[in-house]
């Protein structure tokens, strides 16, 4: 694995209470699954928007740490079709 950081990847994160969208930076040759498996206690999300799980926006922020253990679902945002 090289140490080159790719451009950011836009993700959708679901926790028990929140729906978070934002960007993560990962190594150019790693998969999102690899990134999560190697994450420490928190993952850094930039350009983040936090919504209640089933509704409205709570806040937006340029930086947010998300507790890795609280993540129930994470996926690249461009793969998601919201109902």
What would you report as the CA-atom Rg of the chain, rounded to the nearest whole angstrom? 13
Note the pLDDT tens digit of each residue in 48-70.
999 998 889 999 999 999 999 99
Note the pLDDT tens digit of each residue in 27-37.
667 777 777 77
CA 33 to chain centre: 11
Letter string b/e over residues 30-42, b meaning 16 or more CB atoms within 10 A of that residue's CB = eeeeebbeebeee
Q: For residue 75, which of 7, 24, 41 has the smallest C-alpha distance?
A: 24
Q: Do 35 and 24 contact (CB within 8 A), yes or no?
A: yes
What global pTM score does this model have? 0.83
């Amino acid at each position: 694995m090289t140490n080159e950081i790719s451009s950011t990847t836009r993700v959708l994160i679901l926790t028990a209470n929140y729906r978070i969208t934002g960007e993560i930076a990962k190594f150019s040759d790693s998969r999102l699954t690899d990134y999560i498996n190697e994450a420490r206690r928190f993952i850094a999300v930039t350009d983040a928007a936090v919504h209640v799980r089933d509704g409205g926006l709570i806040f937006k922020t340029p930086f947010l740490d998300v507790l890795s253990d609280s993540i129930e679902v994470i996926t690249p945002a461009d793969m998601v079709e919201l109902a």
